[in-house]
Amino acid sequence: MTTFIEVDHIDRVFNLPNGGQYIALKNIELKIKQGEFVSLIGHSGCGKSTLLNIIAGLDKASIGGVTLEGREVREPGPDRMVVFQNYSLLPWLTVRENIGLAVDEVYKNKSNGERKGIIEQHIDMVGLRQAADKRPNQLSGGMKQRVSIARALAIRPKLLLLDEPFGALDALTRGSLQEQLMKICNENNLTCVMVTHDVDEALLLSDRIVMLTNGPEAHIGQIIDVNIARPRKRLEVVNHTSYYVLRNEMIYFLNQQKLAKKRKSQGSAPQIISRNGLEKVNLELGFMPLTDAAPLIVAKEKGFFAEFGLEEVTLYREPSWKEIAKGVGTGRLDAAQMVAGMPLALTLGAGEKTPVTIVSAMTLSRNGNAITLSKKLQQLGVHTLADLKVALQADTEKTHSLGVVHPASMQNLLMRYWLAAGGIDPDQDVSLPVIPPPQMMSALKSGTIDGYCVGGPWNTRAVKDEIGFVAATGLEIWAGHPEKVLGVSEEWAQKYPKTHLALVKALLKACEYCDDIRNREEIVELLCRPQYLDTTPETIRPGFIDPYERGDGTEAEFLATYNQFYVNKTNYPDRTEMLWILTQLARWGLTPFPKNWVEIIERICRTDVYGAAARELGFLDIGRDTPIWLFDGKLFNPSEPIEYLNSFEIKHQIHIQEVII
């Protein structure tokens, strides 16, 4: 079925009397099919009714928009009817006259007899024949709500919007109206969006349940598919095998949001502010000598740190990602460039380490990786993934080793995904030792490893030294994958919020500078300096400025986004990408899959800090909308992460548990 309603990345921002702003909704993206019944659920203040009003045309999004059958919703219209909790009936009109008010307005071209027939049909539809001539003060609450529903349905809207329509009714009346609504929707293939606080009501009526996180900046935390056949009967739904599983999942989500709200309300102690408005102005930042360290180096060398009040920033070239993690965890480093999965792994205590909650407010770079295999394998006829599988099957006496830089790195996760997609078990058929990037070349040259997955300049170095060839680039495995992120401890972020914001702003400006092709020659010179990468321009230029050389006999190819720092919403800290990383950490037994994954990602992924920084700079603060497809054609559905996990043939035993952080 095609999309009937599209909510396209909407924000709703309210101006406050003190000159500030309140962001009620942030980056809401939702597609609804014709005939679907979708419920919006979440705690009070999460923006459910605001979202419903925007869909209805009663309110306008500050950013983004809504389309109905491809046409933009700009104002209220008869193709959308709203049923409010307070009935909204005119007290001096009878049941028949209240329904007739809508019918007469919309069907002016019909005869009096035709309009009267429509009115009488809908009076009977909601069972109010005996009360047709009564006024609202003579009706019960349930009868009033039936009048509201009849009035809405009488004009045959394309979309029925329900704002807690049964919230004020007694249980018996509510149950009866729910049954009637289900019947009407089924018979008329009606598309409905309903706001409710009642989890049982949502499960009874809905095809999908959209659960919103707490405000401010409320967004869609999770979507649940209710795969219970229609037509439905209450007892059949309650006795369905999946009913209590779905119900418990909803309750769990709402409870986690309640705990998050309580934790947030506790706040942090007041801080001493420096003369330039920051809590701390001297920072020590860690980086690895890689091409994608460019944003930190550019921010330092081009004065972006100083521009935002960070008076003295020292960059420390670290020997390994392990030392980066240790430095931020112990407080030796204020912040650092991290591999994409490191904030998750450190927060979850991967590798039986003591958990340290790490937060990330921006992605520093995307792409930039490649899988390099040795020339020895190439001489044995290995050119592709399929060739590699054949070679491994032919040589069972030797354990072939492929280096990765960190267990939680995209290099490890992409290498494992690539191998497994080719039928190679990364834990049974090969060995994947962890080796710091600067040591990859010597390990490959000595024969200690047969290949590796790493960022620049180490793939180009292997090609130029004729000891390896590029079998696959990260662009070919997952174009646009997150690569490096900014990581700080949660404790640090709470202690220095203004400094954190300034740091993100400086790095955003640096990322923008890095993706201006006119600056790339200068950036190469900066990267090559002894205190940074200490290398020659020839090892950085391929893929960064020049065509990319693979060393496999093919012609060098220009890859415009091989190193990506700013374009295509690079810097937005994307929750869906974090969730994908969580599935892969669990797939390979590096961490359990957290039952409370929404809470974990909400806590780590600081879109609020990113958004504030982007808005102050005049940059876009909207999220990415690119679905996650990898090279094997498998689509990641963020609403069903466990099903996605279980769909893989090659994997570890999956462990699911609640993780306390």
Q: Are 219 and 212 in contact (CB under 8 A)?
A: yes
Q: Are 380 and 373 in contact (CB under 8 A)?
A: no
Which residues on adjacent β-strands are paired with residue 220?
Answer: 212
Could you give phi then psi for residue 498, rounded to 5 degrees?
A: -70, -35
To 10 degrees, what angle do helices 141-154 and 112-125 make?
Answer: 140
Reading phi first (left if > 0) and then psi (alpha if -120 to 50, else beta), residue 623 is in beta
- pLDDT of 176 reads 79
Burial of 64 (0-12, 13-18, 19+ CB in 10 A): middle
- pLDDT of 266 reads 67
- pLDDT of 392 reads 93
Take residue 624 and report the two structure tokens written for it.
């990415």
Distance CA 107, CA 50 (A): 29
- pLDDT of 36 reads 94
Query: pLDDT band at 563, cuts 50/70/90?
Result: very high
Could you give phi then psi for residue 47, rounded to 5 degrees?
A: 95, 15
Which residues on adjacent β-strands are paired with residue 302?
Answer: none
- Residue 501 pLDDT more than 90? yes
Give start and end residues of each alpha helix (H) in 9-62.
48-56
pLDDT in tens, 458-480: 999 999 999 999 999 999 999 99
Mean pLDDT (whole number) for 364-373: 97
Burial of 165 (0-12, 13-18, 19+ CB in 10 A): buried
Q: Are 114 and 157 in contact (CB under 8 A)?
A: no
- Residue 546 pLDDT more than 90? yes
Distance CA 463, CA 548 (A): 10
Q: Are 279 and 492 in contact (CB under 8 A)?
A: no
Mean pLDDT (whole number) for 275-301: 93
- pLDDT of 18 reads 86
Question: Which residues, 6 or more positions from 42, have their beta carbon under 8 angstroms from its beta carbon?
Answer: 48, 211, 212, 213, 214, 218, 221, 254, 257
Q: Are 405 and 437 in contact (CB under 8 A)?
A: yes
Residue keyed to tokens 């019947």: 183
- Residue 1 pLDDT more than 70? no
Range with lowest mean pLDDT among 78-82, 291-295, 369-373, 501-505: 78-82
Three-state SS at 294: helix
Distance CA 465, CA 516 (A): 30
Three-state SS at 62: coil
Question: Which residues, 6 or more positions from 303, have their beta carbon under 8 angstroms from its beta carbon?
Answer: none
Query: pLDDT band at 107, cuts 50/70/90?
Result: confident
Query: pLDDT band at 535, cuts 50/70/90?
Result: very high
Mean pLDDT (whole number) for 298-317: 96
Supply the mean pLDDT for the chain.
Answer: 92
Take residue 364 and report the two structure tokens written for it.
């520093």
To 10 degrees, what angle do helices 95-106 and 112-125 make?
Answer: 130
- pLDDT of 659 reads 86
Q: Are 286 and 327 in contact (CB under 8 A)?
A: yes
pLDDT in tens, 309-320: 999 999 999 999
What is 65-78 written as a DSSP string? Answer: EEEETTEE--S--T
Residue from 298, 303, 337 nearest 317 by CA: 337
pLDDT in tens, 114-135: 888 989 888 887 788 889 999 9
Q: Are 641 and 597 in contact (CB under 8 A)?
A: yes
pLDDT in tens, 244-285: 989 998 998 998 888 888 877 765 555 556 657 899 999 999
Take residue 88 and report the two structure tokens written for it.
């909204």
What is 187-198 written as a DSSP string? Answer: HHT-EEEEE-S-
Three-state SS at 128: coil
Give the Å distances, CA to CA, from 112 to 104, 156, 164, 356.
9, 18, 34, 72
Fill in the DSSP letter of residue 510: H
Tell me which amino acid residue 317 is: R
> Given CA atoms 470, 476, 477, 481 in this order, what sign does their dihedral have?
positive
Question: Residues spanned by CATH 3.40.190.10 within the chain?
Answer: 282-366+483-534+563-657, 369-477
**What homologous superfamily is domain 369-477 in, according to CATH?**
Periplasmic binding protein-like II (3.40.190.10)
Answer CATH for 282-366+483-534+563-657 from 3.40.190.10, 3.40.50.300, 3.40.30.10, 3.40.109.10: 3.40.190.10
Take residue 279 and report the two structure tokens written for it.
């809590």
Q: Are 434 and 405 in contact (CB under 8 A)?
A: yes
pLDDT in tens, 36-84: 999 999 998 899 999 999 999 999 999 999 999 999 999 998 888 888 8
Range with lowest mean pLDDT among 182-191, 285-294, 314-323, 389-398: 182-191
Give start and end residues of each alpha helix (H) in 207-341.
234-238, 243-266, 294-301, 304-307, 321-330
pLDDT in tens, 15-31: 988 888 899 999 999 99
Distance CA 326, CA 318 (A): 11
Q: Are 128 and 150 in contact (CB under 8 A)?
A: yes
**How many Å from the N-terminal Cα to the C-terminal Cα in the chain?**
41
Distance CA 430, CA 415 (A): 11
Give the Å distances, CA to CA, from 235 to 185, 187, 243, 563.
19, 20, 11, 57
| Cis ω for the linkage preceding 216 (within 30 of 0) | yes
Distance CA 123, CA 154 (A): 9
More confident residue, 181 or 506: 506
- pLDDT of 270 reads 54
- pLDDT of 271 reads 56
More confident residue, 476 or 622: 476
